[in-house]
Structure 1
């Protein structure tokens, strides 16, 4: 049987499916605060576990009091006067998503979890009033990768969060860095609070310091394989896909990034032939979103052509989206190492 191709997949998601899909991705299905291992050299990580757990406990306590959402929507006072939002502030690879998902798991339902891109797609698909109505039925909304680099979408989601927090919905979020902020270790709390403007006072900031845990004491990305080795890997691992790199880039341009995850359903290993540096920023940013969905699903990656660290040019890495590109390389490197482990 010939190998499957991601380029043959064009997933569609209906409105109800978009709502039901708002759960942590497979990599974070089983994470909990107890499985987060703080770096002993970074005290803020242990403190973040305590603060995130306390935030989840506040949601549980608020749920036990069963406040009237009707009163909240029309100006009724809620009994819990603490911040309705929590923002996890830190560089990539410090476990922010682990903490965000753990908060979601510990909090009572109904609850929703999604990336910023998935949230904006949901609003586009349902319309703003219906999105507010559907999400207001939840006790907590967790947002990973809050995009600070798109002013229009940021304003849209800020308006959405204002409606939701006024309705009594708790919000937990992580974010990237604004595109004109170049330092990879730079924290984004000031940017996040400024961009959400009137909502800033509703968010408490939880700092998570530290180096990228994915590469502490580990070797660099494995070198690209030969075409024969790539074909052998695809033939060995059931559920593999094989695609030409350029063809995949063209295919990603035809799909909304919120569909990238569904495109990977049932895939156990991704093989890319002829990897080379992304030709422009638009392609590069789509590859970042694709890498995030691969990582969410813990799908190993095998490539031929150029090494993974060459995926983004020096100009890109030293430009405004530096943090995104470095995170993508970090995640893809981890997935490439996974591909070298014995198949169970």
Structure 2
């Protein structure tokens, strides 16, 4: 459910009288409540990745590891065909006593190791789509969404719910949060015992950022007892969102942003500082629901993010907007100046670069709204 205070014809936030005609929607007026069953039902690839397949991935010809990764993942998906019924306590390396032909032995967990913007999420979603199982028996979500599910259902209920799945895909495994890493590693160990196949991408540990690549050694060490069951698939390359594309678009004026918000159906309008304050009052598990029904997000007064906690909340919102392909039109500072130099050198550097990359892509998408 989303607050109706921003419905067409209602008063603008902070005003006491209604206005004539539809008012722009406001993220700050929304306080969504997300039931646990919705969290489970929404563990599928996000709208941006509804139609991706291995065949729609465009490998960089200068990066042979990208084509090789596609082949490995296609074989991995085919190997899950004919997997034993869920719930059987069987060995993780084999396929039990199923009579399915040509089921290869070997690791039934795969870890995609690569920098941001090389298409790991595209490939992870393609794996989900290619796995021969009913959608209700395979799950896809970010690490944050998985920890939110545990928080909503409790550990034992989460184990019971996911144990009936053939495949669990985890995007952006959070190696920079030791407590949550241990929690999810324990959860995965229980799912492994139930015969669930796993696939994951991850970020890097603080101090291990290098050139923005992920480090398979870090991932495998952090998941401890499960590491022997993962095959690391390296994917080299540059951020595809910047291949041959122009620099981040310049911000628009407050007047342009406001005019689009007032004329584009389903657009929201908020002050960027107000939005940052509001995000602190909404749990990140609800950021997806916060954007329900929006066709565009319009922000005025974009400025540098003041602190790390605020920055990390903004990263989650950027991910949800990108997943849902919601254009972002903004005035103020360009998105590549959101995070200060200290943040971009720190342990969460990779997250901030991902957010900049994704918000820049959404800002380009928003240009058509101004042109219209």
Q: What is the TM-score with the length of structure 2 in the denominator?
A: 0.88
Give the SS at the match of 2:81. Answer: helix
- Residue 147 of structure 1 deviates from its aligned partner by 0.4
Distance 1:77 1:115 in 2: 26
Alignment of 1:218-237 (within 5 A): 218-237=245-264
Specify the alignment match of 1:87 in structure 2. 111
- Residue 72 of structure 1 deviates from its aligned partner by 3.3
Distance 2:224 2:141 in 1: 22
CA 1:60–1:244: 2 relative to 1, 3 Å: same
Specify the alignment match of 1:189 in structure 2. 216
Distance 2:213 2:169 in 1: 22
CA 1:249–1:71: 2 relative to 1, 3 Å: same
Q: Contact 1:182–1:319 at 8 Å: present in 2 too? A: no
Counterpart among 23, 26, 42 of residue 63 in structure 2: 42
**What does the per-residue CA deviation read over 1:234-259, in whole Å, with 9 as the maximum and x for residues that have no partner?**
12321100111111111111122121
Structure 1 consecutive aligned stretches of length 4 or more whose deviation exceeds 4 Å: none
Counterpart among 18, 30, 50 of residue 51 in structure 2: 30
Distance 1:240 1:127 in 2: 36
Specify the alignment match of 2:88 in structure 1. 70
**What does the per-residue CA deviation read over 1:29-71, in whole Å, with 9 as the maximum and x for residues that have no partner?**
1100010010000000001111111111111232xxx346234
Distance 1:248 1:113 in 2: 28
- Residue 77 of structure 1 deviates from its aligned partner by 7.7
Alignment of 1:98-247 (within 5 A): 98-107=122-131, 108-109=133-134, 110-247=137-274
- Residue 8 of structure 1 deviates from its aligned partner by 1.4
Q: Contact 2:69–2:234 at 8 Å: present in 1 too? A: yes
**What does the per-residue CA deviation read over 1:302-326, in whole Å, with 9 as the maximum and x for residues that have no partner?**
1111111110011111222111111
Is 1:317 paired with 2:344?
yes
CA 1:184–1:290: 2 relative to 1, 3 Å: farther
Specify the alignment match of 1:4 in structure 2. 25
Distance 2:279 2:185 in 1: 27
CA 1:104–1:230: 2 relative to 1, 3 Å: same
Q: What is the TM-score with the length of structure 1 in the denominator?
A: 0.95
Counterpart among 329, 335, 339 of residue 356 in structure 2: 329
Distance 1:286 1:135 in 2: 27
Distance 2:209 2:230 in 1: 25
RMSD value over aligned CA atoms? Answer: 1.6
Distance 1:298 1:72 in 2: 40
Give the SS at the match of 1:336. Answer: helix
- Residue 11 of structure 1 deviates from its aligned partner by 1.6
Distance 1:157 1:51 in 2: 25
Distance 2:307 2:206 in 1: 16
CA 1:250–1:158: 2 relative to 1, 3 Å: same
Distance 2:25 2:303 in 1: 22
Give the SS at the match of 1:182. Answer: coil
Specify the alignment match of 1:297 in structure 2. 324
Aligned residues: 339
Distance 1:96 1:77 in 2: 26
Structure 1, gaps ≥5 residues long: none
Q: Contact 2:299–2:330 at 8 Å: present in 1 too? A: yes
Is 1:341 paired with 2:365?
no
**What does the per-residue CA deviation read over 1:159-215, in whole Å, with 9 as the maximum and x for residues that have no partner?**
000010111101111111112223233332111001001110011111110001101
Specify the alignment match of 2:8 in structure 1. none
Q: Contact 1:184–1:323 at 8 Å: present in 2 too? A: no
Q: Compare relative contact order (CA 8 Å, sep 6+) and give the higher one, 1 or 2.
A: 1
Looking at secondary structure, tell me which structure has more helix per residue. 1
Distance 2:177 2:29 in 1: 30
**What does the per-residue CA deviation read over 1:5-37, in whole Å, with 9 as the maximum and x for residues that have no partner?**
011112222222111111111000110001001
